[in-house]
Amino acid sequence: MTTIESPSGGAGTPQTGQVDTGSTIAERDRQRLERFVELSSVLTGFAVFDLWGTGVAEDYLKTACCQVGQHLVDVLITRISIDGWKTVLTSPPKKDSPVKTPQPLFHLPDREVPTLVVAAEVASAESVRSAVEKALGKVIETNPEGMGRIAQLLADADDKSAVRRAVAELLVATVCAVTEMWYLGHWPHLAPEAYATLTRTWDALNPPEMGKPVSSTGFPAPPRLDPASPHPAPPNRSFVISPQSYVESLVWKTFPGGHPMGAKPPGFGSWAEPTTDPWQKAAEQKQAGGQQKGQALR
């Protein structure tokens, strides 16, 4: 059983990569959705409560499943632990980290600066990819049924590591796409390389039986009417998931007083009121402190 660093808590979360075959489809869907929201919480920096509050989590999970195939989403939400994602996104880089940030990312004017820059370094493609690759390697070794098809691909390929790397890159692209979906309410274009990998692995990851309602995951890939016909990946285009998804875009919740343009209006004259944030307060305190010092000196 157990191959993967499983999340510490999480009652009802599958402990293994395999979906619990004993529970009903509805129950499995619920578990999967919970894991998806937990993962999204780490990716977006918003609490699970905020994400459930949008009411669009289920739509997003379905969209992701339809766009990149459910097995990839499964890898993201059940085979890599939430703690693993947290580590990837927040821990400082090791001294021998291959990541070299070309220039400081962003100067936030307070003590948070190093953390943010560090996080940015850690979250760079290289480190996420290596973490994913590691997890993926384990999956492939221990789970011949589901991810075994990728293993098959790897076995066929001349250069195993290149394919493995390409799939890992696709996973990174998926993680970014899911984050962008939460922030802006739309499914984005995937990078051309990632999409190329997706089309190459689509048939292996989404075999004909996946379209049937008894699919092991509950979120069937787009159904295939004729199992013999070629089964292309969905087109690489960006689209807004629903009117509600635009209204619930997280980007508007990142700053105080924010609201989506054209919805959730804050009321007549509200725009005249100041809003504030920690950086402004810190800057004002610093200024006030400086003035007091100046007065004392005089």
Partner 1 sequence: MRFDDYMSRTHYDAVVVGGGAAGSLIAKRLGDQGWRVLVLEAGTGEVSTWHGHETALDTYYTTINKTENSPYLFNPAAPSPSENLATPSPETANRAEEAPIDYYVQKGELPYASSYLRSLGGSMLHWQGATPRMVPEDFHTCSKFDRGRDWPLDLTDPKKYYDNLEKYYEWAEYEIGVAGDAAEQRDLGTITNKQYEYPMHKIPLSHMDHVLGNKLNGASAKLSTSKDDRATAPAGELRLRSVPQGRNSEPNLTYRADYHPRTGYRPAEAVGLPNYGERCNGNSNCIPICPVQAKYTPLKTQAKFNKDLVTVVTRAVVTRVLFGANSHPGEQREPRPGDGARQDQQVVQYNQRAVGVEYKMYDDPRSAAAVTHAVTGDVIILAAHAVENAKLLLASGARNCNDNGNGPIGRHLMDHPVLVTWALMPPQHNMGAYRGPMSSSSIDGFRRGGPIPGNNKNCRSGNWRELHAPFRIEPDNWGWSLPLKSPGTDVQGLIQRGRTHWDPPDVFRGPVLGTALRDILAYSLPRQIQLSFSMEQPAEWTNRVTLDDRYRDNLGNHRPVIYYNLSEYVREGFVRAREVSHQIFERLGTHSLLEIPTPHGIPFDHNGQRFYYWGGSHAAGTHIMGHNPDKSVVDQWQRCYYHPNLFVVGSGSMPTMGTSNPSLTLAALALRTAEVIHDDLVRLRRPITVSGCPAVGEQGVKS
Q: Taking CB under 8 A as the criterion, which residues in 245-284 touch partner 1?
A: 246-247, 251-252, 254-259, 261-263, 265-277, 279-280, 282-284
Q: Residue 257 CB, nearest distance to partner 1 (Å)?
A: 6
CB of 278 to partner 1, least distance (A): 9
- Work out how close the CB of 107 gets to partner 1 at its nearest, in angstroms, rounded to a whole number: 9
Place of tokens 């005249």: 272
Q: List the interface residues with partner 1, window 81-110 (CB under 8 A).
A: 89-90, 99, 101-103, 105-106, 108-110
CB of 282 to partner 1, least distance (A): 7
Angle at alpha carbon of residue 60, lines to 176 and 37, rounded to 5°? 80
Tell me how far apart the alpha carbons of residues 20 and 59 are, in angstroms, rounded to a whole number.
23
Residue type, 83: D
49 is a contact residue toward partner 1 (CB under 8 A)? no
Distance CA 194, CA 279 (A): 37
| Number of H-type helices and E-type strands within the chain | 12, 2
Residue the block writes with tokens 């085979």: 79
Which of 91, 161, 199, 287 lies at the binding interface for partner 1 (CB under 8 A)?
Answer: 287
Q: What one-character DSSP code corresponds to residue 92?
A: P
**Any contact of residue 66 with partner 1 (CB under 8 A)?**
no
Smallest gap from Cβ 51 to partner 1, in A, equals: 13
Task: Kindly state the smallest distance separating residue 54's Cβ from partner 1, in Å.
Answer: 14
Neighbours of 238 (CB within 10 A): 13
Binding mask 126-155 for partner 1 (x = CB under 8 A): xxx---------------------------
Q: Are 6 and 17 in contact (CB under 8 A)?
A: no
Amino acid in the structure at residue 197:
T
Binding-residue total with partner 1 (CB under 8 A): 76
| Position 46 contacts partner 1 (CB under 8 A) | yes
Q: Residues in the chain, how many?
A: 298
Contact between 36 and 61 (Cβ < 8 Å): yes
For the window 150-179, what string marks contact with partner 1 as x by the rule CB under 8 A? ----------------------x--xx--x
